[in-house]
C-alpha cells in the first residue's frame, strides 16, 4: 500500500505497523495463537486469531526506528531479577521494581512512540487518545530521536501484581483520557504495567516528577496489588512518599 507515512510524512510504501508491540500480547495467546477478546460495547467475548492492533501507518525506514525502540523496551520490561540484557539490571525492592542502566533515549522514545502511535491511529481501540497539537510535537521528537526532558510528556509506570510473584500480563485495556490536578492524562495498560502520560502545557508543575524516567538514574516502577489497582492520581502521592520520603 502506497501512502503518506505518518512519521516522516513522505509518500512511500506503508507497512502494517503495530500500535502496541506484538510482544505485549504474547502471554495472552493460547496454543493456537488465539486471544480471548471482550468488547465493552457488547459485553460479549470471543476467541479468535489475533496479532495485536495494527494498520498501514509507517514506511520501512520509520518502522525500523520504532522496532529498535520496541526491542529495547521489551528487554527492559520483560527482564527478570538478576538477568542482564543490554546491560540492564533488574531488582525488586521497597515495593517497586528498579531497573538500572536504562538507556534514557531509547526507552523514553519508546514511551513517546506508544502515545504518538495511539493518537495517530485510526483504530477504534485508540479512539480516546487524541493529542491535538501535541501529536505533531511528539512526531518531530521521534523523527529527530529527541527524547526531551524527563517532564516533557513524562510517563509514570505502575506494575500491577496478580499475586506477590506474578505481574498481571494477561490483560490489555483500551487507553483512556482524563483530567486530574490540572493536567491531561492518558492511561494505558499492557504487559502488566499501567503507563500514565502527563500531556499538558504546564507539565513542569507536575509534583511527582521523580516517578518519570530520568537520565543516569534507575527506572522506578512501583508495585501495586491487582485488588488495589485504582486509576486515581492521588495514589501517586502515596507512592512518591513511600519511595522517596517526601
pLDDT per residue over 136-178, tens digit each? Answer: 999 999 999 999 999 899 999 988 876 656 666 667 788 989 8
Residue 31: alpha-carbon gap to chain centroid: 26
Is the pLDDT higher at 199 or at 38? 199
The DSSP letter of residue 232 is -
List, in sequence order, every beta strand (DSSP E) within the chain. Answer: 2-4, 11-18, 34-38, 45-49, 54-59, 84-85, 88-93, 96-100, 155-163, 166-167, 173-180, 183-190, 193-199, 219-225
pLDDT at 219: 92
pLDDT at 22: 86
CA dist., res. 160 & res. 44, Å (int): 25
Cross-strand pairs, 37: 46
pLDDT per residue over 89-147, tens digit each? Answer: 888 777 888 889 999 999 999 999 999 999 999 999 999 999 999 999 999 999 999 99
**Percent of the chain topping pLDDT 90:** 46
Inform me whether the pLDDT recorded for 227 exceeds 50: yes
Inform me whether the pLDDT recorded for 246 exceeds 70: no
Q: What is the CA radius of gyration of the chain?
A: 18
Of the listed ranges 179-183, 206-210, 224-228, the one predicted with least confidence: 224-228
pLDDT at 28: 64
Confidence of residue 192 (pLDDT cuts 50, 70, 90): confident
Q: Write down the pTM of the prediction.
A: 0.84
Q: How many domains does the chain have?
A: 1
pLDDT per residue over 199-214, tens digit each? Answer: 977 666 677 778 899 9
Domain boundaries, position 231? 2-244
pLDDT at 174: 86
Inform me whether the pLDDT recorded for 34 exceeds 60: no
Amino acid at each position: 500500500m502506497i501512502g503518506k507515512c505518518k512519521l516522516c510524512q513522505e509518500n512511500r510504501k506503508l507497512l502494517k505497523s503495530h500500535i502496541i508491540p506484538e510482544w505485549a500480547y504474547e502471554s495472552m495467546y493460547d496454543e493456537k495463537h488465539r486471544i480471548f477478546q471482550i468488547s465493552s460495547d457488547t459485553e460479549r467475548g470471543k476467541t479468535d486469531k489475533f496479532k495485536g492492533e495494527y494498520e498501514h501507518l509507517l514506511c520501512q525506514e520509520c518502522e525500523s526506528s520504532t522496532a529498535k525502540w520496541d526491542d529495547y523496551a521489551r528487554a527492559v520490561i520483560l527482564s527478570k531479577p538478576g538477568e542482564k540484557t543490554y546491560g540492564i539490571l533488574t531488582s525488586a525492592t521497597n515495593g517497586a521494581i528498579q531497573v538500572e542502566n536504562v538507556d534514557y533515549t531509547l526507552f523514553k522514545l519508546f514511551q513517546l512512540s506508544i502515545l504518538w502511535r495511539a493518537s495517530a491511529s485510526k483504530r477504534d481501540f485508540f479512539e480516546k487518545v487524541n493529542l491535538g497539537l501535541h501529536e505533531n510535537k511528539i512526531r518531530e521528537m521521534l523523527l529527530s530521536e529527541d527524547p526531551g526532558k524527563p517532564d516533557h510528556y513524562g510517563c509514570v509506570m505502575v506494575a500491577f501484581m496478580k499475586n506477590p510473584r506474578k505481574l498481571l500480563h494477561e490483560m490489555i485495556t483500551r487507553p483512556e483520557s482524563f483530567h486530574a490536578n490540572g493536567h491531561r492524562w492518558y492511561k494505558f495498560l499492557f504487559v502488566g504495567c499501567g503507563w500514565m502520560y502527563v500531556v499538558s502545557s504546564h507539565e513542569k508543575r507536575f509534583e511527582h516528577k521523580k516517578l518519570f524516567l530520568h537520565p543516569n538514574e534507575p527506572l522506578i516502577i512501583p508495585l501495586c496489588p491487582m485488588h488495589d489497582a485504582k486509576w486515581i492520581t492521588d495514589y501517586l502521592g502515596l507512592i512518591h512518599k513511600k519511595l522517596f520520603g517526601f
